[in-house]
Every structure is written in structure tokens, then in C-alpha cells.
Structure 1
Amino acid sequence: MVEELNKDQTTEQKILAAARAVFIEQGLAGARMQDIADRAGINKALLHYYFRSKEKLFDMVFEEAAMKFLPRISILFEADIPIFDKIRTFVEHYINLMMENPFIPIFVLNEVHKNPAEFITRIWGGRMPPVREFAAQIQREIEAGNIKPIHPFHLMINMISMCIFPFVGRPIATSVFELSNEQFMVLMEQRKKLVAEFVIDAIKA
């Protein structure tokens, strides 16, 4: 019984790893169940036994990635660390997530537009992201004269949009600048520091 359970878990993890690789290469629209089965080294019937559809499989791959990322962000927002360090860490975590899971931005945009409340409940477990703590820290830093007056909304949107847009606009960016995948990833690695320092320089008093 234990051996069968372990075998099931191993097969499922093999499928998820294969699916993640195929989604990264082809996106949700371009990925085929046969491609995923081939990558996992199993037949298509067995793949359907574990996951009934490509969408169900994608949901699980997405949630697996999100569950690794979101708790870190919650802890970060609530952490008692200097605001500039918090910005640097946020940007690094966010770009790392996009680099490891480049299929996420388009999927999130589509899901959020369908039903924002349902998406937040599904990802954050019914509670809102702890942005109030971060907003309160921003206000304290403004009052202390350490940063320029800025609404927390603008600061958060600036950070997120500068992290996510290169991945949303990747097809255009790589075409216009004639970038290979490797060159694009090198530039994204550089953006971890560039984005953080750009945001910090913009608000530093």
C-alpha cells in the first residue's frame, strides 16, 4: 500500500515537472497533453488518469509556483526590516518567480479579469495580501523624512509593473531587440538590481 502511494506521488511529480517544462516552452495555449506525456515518459492514457485536462494540470502547476512565492511576500511585507531592503527583496523574489515560471503573467491577467474576488480567495486563502503593513511603513518613512511623499498604491504598482512587464511583453521585446532566450534571461537577472535601485532612487528624500 505504501509502495503504491509512493509510486503515485512519484508519477504525479514527474508529470508536474514535465508539464511545467512544456508550459514554459509553449505556454498554456500551445501546450498539448501528448507533449506533456512524452516529456514525462508515460502514455497519454496514464496522464489523463492523473489529470483530466490540460487546464486542471496547469492550475496545479500554477498553484504550486504561487504557494512557494506568496508566503515569502506575506512574510516580507510584515517583516521589521528597512523599507529599501524590503523593496530590493520584493523585486528579487518577483523577478525570480517570473524567470522560473514565465507562463504565469498572462495566466494571472486572464484569471484576474474573469473574477478578481475568486482569484484572490483561491490564491491567498480568503485573506487579502498584507499590504496594509507595508503601506503603514511607507507612511512612517514619509513622516520621518526618509522618502518623498508617495501613495502606497503608486509605489506597489511601480514595483510590480516594472517586474512583470518584460515578461508580458517578452515576444515583442525579444523580437525588436533580436534577443535569444539566454540573452533575455541575462537582462532579467540584471533587472533585479536595476528595478530596485530605480524605485529607491525615485522615492529617496
Structure 2
Amino acid sequence: MMKKQKDNKTEEQILVAAQVIFQAKGMDGARMQEIADKANINKAMLHYYYRSKQLLFEAVFKKAFSLLAPQLNAILNDDSSVEEKIRNFTYNYISFIIKHPYLPNFIIQELNRKPQFIEEIKNNVAFPNITKFKQQVEKEVANQIIKPIAAEQLFINIMSLNIFPFIASPLIKPLINVDNKTYQGLVDARKKEVANFIINAIKK
């Protein structure tokens, strides 16, 4: 009996369909049958490619992360100034996560469930490296371009201000009393607001 071969085109259809469903309904709300229908295949075929919703979600995540990570790594390692890096990193990160809003929560969920998941992520090509960023921060501090700050602290500030509005949106929206459409507008504006806030805080 011949063994079935997985087809790259079918697998891509599944990943595209799964991304749409996960983005609309999240991990808990998504159903494998719904994903199969969206991909125009039957559920048995879907399970042949991905035995569980968790494995499918991980595949969708890794595909998306493999698109984001090289962008961020390129920014961190180019020859632009610290200010330009902050602006470009923030703009690219927020623009990408607006299109893939499930990513931050999925990372937190997976790290809580399986701490070694970060090692799997780090095996992705072009995982962001902040070595050059650290060197530039130290140089600009020494040259009195920016106020004294540890590069690690600055990077944590950048990541925190970029990520928090996505993972905490169910809390923030009622606190500031806005609907989904208004909140999306606020998040979009943060592409510049976050960078301006950080740069104003560190500039001499």
C-alpha cells in the first residue's frame, strides 16, 4: 500500500485558512471543522496534516514569526541611529501585530504552558539579536546623545510598550471606555506615539 504524500499547496491552504480563523476567533474559539471548510478540504485530510489544533496553531505561529523576526533583526543590526531603530522597530512591530493579533497572547500562553518553547522559537532563522543595539546605546550614552540607560532596560521598555496594548486589550478597552473600532485607531496611532514617548524620555 502506497503511503500518502503531503502536498505543499494543500498545507499552505491549511495554514492560510487557519490564520484567518485563529485571527477571528482565537485559539479557544477556533474549530478544526471550520478550518477544514475554509481550506476546502475535509476534516480527515486536515488531521492528516495536523493531528491537533495545538499543532496547527504552532505551525501558524511559527510561519508568522518567521516573517516578523527577520524584519526586527534587520532593524536591530543595521547602521541607523538608536532613535531611528526605535522608530522603525515600533512601526514594523505594531504594523505586523495588527495583522497577526493572536501572536503576543500565543507566545505568553505557550511560555506558561511549556517554558522550553522559547528554545524552539530561537531556532527560527534570524531570531532578533540585540548585541549591536547594545553597543550603539552604550556609544550614544557615552557621546551624550541620549541619557544614561542600560540597553537591556531600553529594549524592555520598547517591547513592553509595543506588546501590552495587544495582550491587555480586553482590560484596556473598558477602562478607557472605547469600542473596538476606536481602540484599533488608538493602537494604529501608537506606531508613532510609542517611539515619540521613548525618544523624548531618553534624548539629552
Same fold (TM over 0.5): yes
Structure 2 portions without partners, runs of 5+: none
Equivalent in the alignment of 1:178: 178
Aligned match of 1:123 = 121
Shift of 1:104: 1.0
**How many Å apart are 1:115 and its aligned residue?**
4.8
- 1:154 paired residue number: 153
**C-alpha contact (below 8 Å) 2:17/2:35 kept by paired residues:** yes
- Runs of 5+ unmatched residues, structure 1: none
Number of aligned positions between the proteins: 199
**Equivalent position of 1:17 in the other structure:** 16
CA positional deviation for 1:164: 0.7
Percent same amino acid at aligned positions? 40
Q: Match of 1:179, as an amino acid?
A: D
Check conservation: 2:140, 2:146, Cα contact below 8 A. Answer: yes
Contact 1:92–1:192 (CA<8 Å) still a contact in 2? yes
Give the structure 2 partner of residue 163 of structure 1.
162
Partner of 2:108: 109
CA distance in 2, matches of 1:14, 1:115: 28
- CA–CA distance in structure 1, aligned partners of residues 36 and 167 of structure 2: 27
Deviation of residue 128 (structure 1)? 7.1
Amino acid at match of 1:123: I
The secondary structure found in structure 1 opposite 2:121 is: helix
Structure 2: how far apart are the matches of 1:121 and 1:157?
A: 19
Deviations 1:89-138 (A, max 9, x none): 1101211222111111111112233454x333322228974212111110
Higher helix fraction (1 or 2): 1
Q: Hey, what does 2:133 align to over in structure 1?
A: 134
CA–CA distance in structure 2, aligned partners of residues 171 and 97 of structure 1: 20
The whole-number CA distance in structure 1 between the counterparts of 2:105 and 2:28 is: 11
Cα distance in 2 for partners of 1:68, 1:186 equals 24
Aligned partners of 1:120 and 1:128 also within 8 Å: no
Residue 187 of structure 1 and its aligned partner are, at CA, apart by 1.7
Q: 3-state SS of the aligned residue for 2:80?
A: coil
| Separation of aligned partners in 2, 1:53 and 1:115 | 17
